Amino acid sequence: MDFDWTDDHLSLRRGAVEFASERLVEGVTERDREAVFPRELWDACAEFGLQGIIVPTEWGGAGQDLLSAVATLEGTGYGARDNGLVFSVASHVASCEGPLSEFGTEAQKQEWLPRLADGSAIGATGVTEPDSGSNALALGTTAVESRGDWVLDGSKTFVTNAPVADLFVIYARTGGSGFAGITCFLIPREADGLTVGPSIEKMGLRTSPMSQVFLENCRVPASSVVGGVGSGAMVFNQTMDIERLLVMAPAIGVMERLLERCVAHARQRTAGSVPIGKHQSISHRIADMELKLEAARLLLYRAAWHRMRRGTATRESALAKLAVSEAYVECCRNAVQIFGGYGYMVEYELERELRDALATTLYVGTSEIQRNLIAGLRGLG
């Protein structure tokens, strides 16, 4: 059992830290306030190689394995301050490029992967619906065969990147109510019958755009199906193994950065005549931050390792997602508390970190859903 990163992994992480700390730091407060998606920084991320990190080299990507992608995105989270943009990139990679790379046809890959990898096209995924909530398989959106095509009707909500997306990965019901009744489709933005709603204003991750997507008599060719008719639930579940890990990897970097910042503050800030870090109420918070960070980190790495070697990691990725998201929120709350009144001030940027962190217990399956999944795999619930 080896707990060390390889030299290649460390190099990827260092490179991501350097890039993100140089390019993804300035102007975040203003963009957050105005809820602005920075397309020029999206393009900078693509030039660095983030969007193409898992795309095979034959389609213009870097062809990195899952652990390499985790290391890179962790480094990005450490160096960046724009958590919304980083989330948009990770979502694009995991939920759009992931299923297309693994289950797409050669024609689908040829048409879309090079553009997704170089950032010239932005991907979004529609799973959640207004009436289904966290039950991802209780889809009301339908797809019906018609003269060799498929016609989709329904709506999706909380679709990350939708306001700026060029390609949508849409899950719809093509059969009965069971597992085999769902199919995954690729639908370009310009498809007749697809409408993107206005941007949804959010509490956090405000530089990551989100909206509803409406499908009304949306006709797409049979070649739009990903992975075969009726295989959508399988595509979704396999994608979720990866998505849980890639969208949470930046949080590990953020937590490490906040831990270091809190340690420095606890050494420098005095109360009376001694640094506040001499008080157990502060030092114990910092100890707890490190404990939760390292436990979450190991669960995330193990899940990525398991997925690479076993081909599936449903239990492991659910444990990692639950641990990282809840540790992340607690870390940010502790940081605000350690900084006291200053932590509540916008200029210290900790209140934004907390607002951004809160979303992690909701997206890619809520904490409650992760617990249901973990318990269900033990035959409970």
Q: Do domains 7-122 and 124-230 have the same CATH topology?
A: no
Strand, coil or helix: 121: coil
Q: Does CATH place domain 7-122 in 1.10.540.10? A: yes
With a pLDDT cut of 70, the percent of the chain lying above it is 100
On the question of pLDDT at 165 being above 90, the answer is yes
Domain 124-230 belongs to what topology?
A: Butyryl-CoA Dehydrogenase, subunit A; domain 2 (2.40.110)
Mean per-residue pLDDT of the chain:
96
As a CATH number, domain 248-376 is 1.20.140.10
3-state helix, strand, coil in the chain (%, to 5): 55, 15, 25
* pLDDT, tens digit, 9 for 90 and up, residues 64-74: 999 999 999 99
pLDDT score at 6:
92
Enumerate the active-site residues: 243
Give pLDDT, residue 215.
Answer: 98
Of all residues in the chain, the percent with pLDDT exceeding 90 is: 94
Q: Where are the domains of the chain?
A: 7-122, 124-230, 248-376
Q: Token pair for residue 110?
A: 């040829």
Task: Compute the distance between CA of residue 278 and CA of residue 262 in angstroms, rounded to an integer.
Answer: 13
Chain segment 307-343, per-residue pLDDT in tens: 999 999 999 999 999 999 999 999 999 999 999 999 9
Query: Encoding tokens for residue 30?
Result: 């203003």
Measured CA distances, 303 to 127, 181, 243, 318 (Å): 23, 29, 12, 9
What pTM did the predictor assign?
Answer: 0.97
Residues in contact with 126: Cβ distance below 8 Å, sequence separation at least 6, in sequence order: 141, 156, 159, 162, 168, 169, 170, 171, 213
Banded pLDDT at 366 (limits 50, 70, 90): very high
DSSP summary character for residue 35: T
Render 219-288 in DSSP notation, one character per residue.
EEEGGGEES-TT-HHHHHHHHHHHHHHHTTHHHHHHHHHHHHHHHHHHHH-EETTEEGGGSHHHHHHHHH
